[in-house]
Structure 1
């Protein structure tokens, strides 16, 4: 896992080397200062030379100034190094997630994926800015301090050295519990994010059922689990830290005992310097334990991110080139298509056979749950058939990337989702290359342009959160215009008139008639009036096509279509 994450270091290695160089300079000066004080005590104080004291004081002060400068450069370069890497990782993770098929998004809560992009990537930042170099510097600091101690007094240094393995054992035991603690915190954080997002996304439903108290109680359970995971993390660190502090105290007592009872050290300066080094020795050891905490937190996040980073993208999010054979749609054919969501014998579609000629207006009708939207999801490449073949112009659609199929087809959903931003941004989907003329022409075809012109800011009018500043009909017209902007050859309307008033339905019908023949139109109909003029209508029931024909033919067949028409259920 660390090896995979280490690959992101290579492009920014220069920044890391500069940060490391200035860190080494600061560490060297830090090791030099106790020697300066030792020399002052043993020579300048004993000689009572004010001049020497001032000289050493100037030298000491100079090392501090240089250390401040070195640490500033080190910190700046290290943070730049880490932030650049996290920028790349965050973008990579988001790109891999957004390239997944719709089936993946049904397997994992959206809040969980949000945590991957935000919290988990942020936890990795400490790996690069706070752990990688700091752990190395702490180890070097320990080595440098031990060398200095041995140069001062071998017997005392040996005593201190024997305690280092004990500290290593403590760190090893600690990391076992720390990894478990941090993994628990990450898991519960994701659960909390998911719960909050789901509840807030459907707050209207909650309020409609006066369910605020119940939902607050439900979240309280999740929040308590998060609290328990956090307390376990705190207890793990709280137990380990006092043990380290106690060990430092024991060493200090031991040094004073050696100095006073056995007369191991004579010079006062040496005693003072040794105590300084001893205190400095346990500082990096403490840092190692703390950085190990950060490392465990980062690894807990990495365990969730690295599998995503290593994913082979289901779709290509780069610019899509439409192959020559698909630039003009002549036929769309479903040949004995079967589909099961879980690859079991429970089929959502069974033996679908139909052919759509280019430029036709085709209606798909049937009871809810019959398989209408599933049929279109297969055509758009959201899923692949379990059995059978879908062909466009005679070519099997599975030989193309799903993004290629979606580049020739536009989909108007039943629920028109609008993104944060303006009408212009929603029409263009933030694509600056879409011309003003293209936006206006699409809005005119969708009978939306006149309404937009009446707004104070025109096309730059904000739509509000999830389009809250627009009516349901306006949002649906905008969703239709968004598809028309891209000039797709095939337009799919998935019950696009299900939640709108008759006036808006009429506008959509006029828009469809205006582009009829120019585009291939497939309409999943909730209202029969929307597909009255269709060239061909397919009635799907329980995953099978049970009837086909134009509107008048199906009415006069006195079959399932006639029953639905008579009952006014669709």
Structure 2
């Protein structure tokens, strides 16, 4: 996994500016929410003033005649307060869910658009963590942080103004502890951000281990790796426990310190306020007002301290989510729509002096040239890592050349849209992936508007119809996650039907028959002969017996064409292909003979 560049160890204004800009669609909702919070803070400021008025005018004077009016006013304001609380909680919850939906939707869309190279460099668990736990952390912090931030700042401003108006000397005493709170915040800032960033990092590792453990469950059991996997997971979770405890300890230390300083401020207010009262500088109502305000003033500070720790915690998540959303797509369309996009592809594919590397300077292909005629079947053979799949991926524009050009029907495919090319491609992988749903759904993915008749016809072409009809629910049979309810050969046949249903002009088979049984291979081989007729096709093959009928066989070594010709021509040359073919033929013959002996015995 490619680690993202770490940012400065403080609350980074830039990342939050980017986040706020990203969430500009919720500007109106946030303004409404801020309105609720300002109203709530104003009500909180008014209540102590009513108490002061009642104490000075009625309680101290022992005149209870006006208290019923005060009681009615208190009740009315309490009802209003409850209404505002209900509205802001509902609205903040709505904002949180909408933000979470937007981040997950945009992250998923970004992942769909990113090139294969991004997936080469980043683990699945890392990407899952971005779209789940990190997105949830941000939406919760932003939505409810705005609530507490606006309320806290408005409350502190309102209380400060009223205290300064009523008695500025006592107000300054109450506010005396603010510089100490600022020093404490700066001290804890760096340490908390480091801890919370480590928490997010290790959380990604845990997500990755969960993914590997689930996806690779069969491999784990066959290799008897259960104990090793448990040990690895235990080590990572122990690291998670350590850094989480450290982060919680820092938060636990920061908040009590803030609470202690707030209590000191209240004590100072009570002490000096009592002296002012005995000197006749203030009334009983004023003393009660300041004591109440001292407590109310430091409540928002406590909330702001909590928001501060939450922002530091969420900043690590924000860095990662924004990093994903801002990831640049390596393959982009230079035009919105290709000229003559509705015109079908004829199928001529040309590599002109193509260079390509995955890591700069480490060439996979260098000055590679190839001209494939429309309707020609090209087979690619060679050792693992020779560049066969790279040639196919470049032809499909899953990657783009780092040098040179690739032409489709004589035009540089970078001057066309990806949709134009990909909608004319049929692609079958060695390990096909089926989506959760029915067989019918999976075949229809190749052509979303396909009729049931077209689906069945595609299945018949690849000889999949018979096995499908033997299933209890036929084409409505659920395939399970990843196609786990079907055998490897059955999955391959379904994926083959999915690839041909749209009748693509270009066809690519990447080791499509190397992992299936002989019977399924024979069915697919028959299908290949029908499907590839008059279609340009590239076949990456391990079993050389499957490519005898190819128009041209290319022997690839270190990204270069070592030999090329038909099956018969290459055998007559008695070169590299001849050695590969005879060696594999003898190996397969030996296996057949061994199986025959076993069946007799």
Q: TM-score range by the shorter chain?
A: over 0.9
The equivalent of 1:43 in structure 2 is 57
Deviations 1:175-201 (A, max 9, x none): 232222221211111122122222332
Partner of 2:164: 150
| CA apart distance, 1:47 | 4.7
**Residue 412 (1) aligns with residue 422 (2):** no
Q: Tell me if the contact between 1:343 and 1:386 (Cα under 8 Å) persists in the aligned partners.
A: no
- Please state if 1:95 is matched with 2:109: yes
Q: Is the 8 A contact 1:372 1:524 kept in 2?
A: yes
Equivalent-residue separation in structure 2 for 1:334 and 1:45 (angstroms): 95
Correspondence 1:491 to 2:498: no
Which of 343, 350, 355 does residue 333 from structure 1 map onto?
A: 350
State which of 189, 192, 198 in structure 1 corresponds to 2:206.
192
1:454 maps to 2:470:
yes
Q: Which residue of 2 aligns with 1:289?
A: 305
The match for 2:269 is 255
Give the TM-score of the pair, scaled to structure 1. 0.93
Q: How far 1:37 sits from its partner (Å)?
A: 2.0
Aligned partners of 2:434 and 2:482 also within 8 Å: yes
Asked if the contact 1:336/1:387 (under 8 Å) is kept, the reply is yes
Distance 1:340 1:46 in 2: 87
Q: Does residue 198 of structure 2 align to residue 181 of structure 1?
A: no
Query: Superposition RMSD on alpha carbons, in Å?
Result: 2.5
Residue 398 of structure 1 corresponds to which residue in structure 2?
Answer: 414
Equivalences, count = 569
Deviations 1:276-308 (A, max 9, x none): 111110110001110111211222222122233
Say if 2:547 is the partner of 1:536: no
SS at match of 1:7: helix
* 2:517 aligned with 1:504: no
Q: CA deviation at 1:49?
A: 4.8
1:323 to 1:512, Cα distance in 2 relative to 1, 3 A: farther
Structure 2: stretches of 5+ with no match in the other structure: 1-14, 589-601
Greater shift after overlay, 497-506 or 71-80? 71-80
- Distance in 1, matches of 2:127 and 2:571, equals 48
**Partners of 1:316 and 1:403 within 8 A in 2:** no
Whole-angstrom distance in 1 between the partners of 2:337 and 2:459: 26
Contact 1:320 1:403 in 2 (8 A): no
User: What CA deviation, in whole Å up to 9, does each residue of 1:219-260 have, x standing for no partner?
Assistant: 222222222221221111111112122123222332332244
Could you say which residue in structure 1 is the equivalent of 2:118? 104
Matched residue SS, 1:340: strand
Unaligned residue ranges in structure 1 (runs of 5+):
none
In the TM superposition, what is the alpha-carbon distance from 1:266 to its structure 2 partner?
5.2
From 83, 90, 109, the counterpart of 2:97: 83
Q: How far off is 1:320 after superposition?
A: 8.3
Aligned residue among 76, 82, 105 for 1:62: 76
1:445 deviates by: 1.9
1:318-397 matched pairs, under 5 angstroms: 323-324=339-340, 327-344=344-361, 346-397=362-413
Q: Distance in 2 between matches of 1:48 and 1:432?
A: 83
- CA positional deviation for 1:402: 4.2
Determine the C-alpha separation between the residues in 2 that align with 1:71 and 1:443.
Answer: 60
Question: Aligned partners of 2:334 and 2:53: how far apart in 1?
Answer: 66
Q: 1:553 aligns with which of 561, 569, 573?
A: 569
Question: Does residue 280 in structure 1 map to residue 296 in structure 2?
Answer: yes
2:541 maps to 525
Q: For residues 51 and 316 of structure 1, do their structure 2 counterparts lie closer, same or farther at Cα, with a shift above 3 Å needed? A: farther
Deviation at 1:499, TM superposition (A): 0.8
Q: CA deviation at 1:59?
A: 1.8
> What secondary structure does 1:334 align onto?
strand
- 1:121-152, Cα deviation, whole Å (9 max, x unpaired): 22221343122342132111101111222344
Q: Identify the range of structure 1 (67-76 vs 249-258) with the bigger mean alpha-carbon deviation.
A: 249-258
1:172 counterpart = 2:189: no
- The alpha-carbon deviation at position 432 of structure 1 amounts to 5.2
CA distance in structure 2 between the aligned counterparts of 1:491 and 1:201, rounded to whole angstroms: 29
TM-score by length of 2: 0.88
Pair 1:214-2:228 in alignment: yes
Contact 2:333 2:415 in 1 (8 A): no
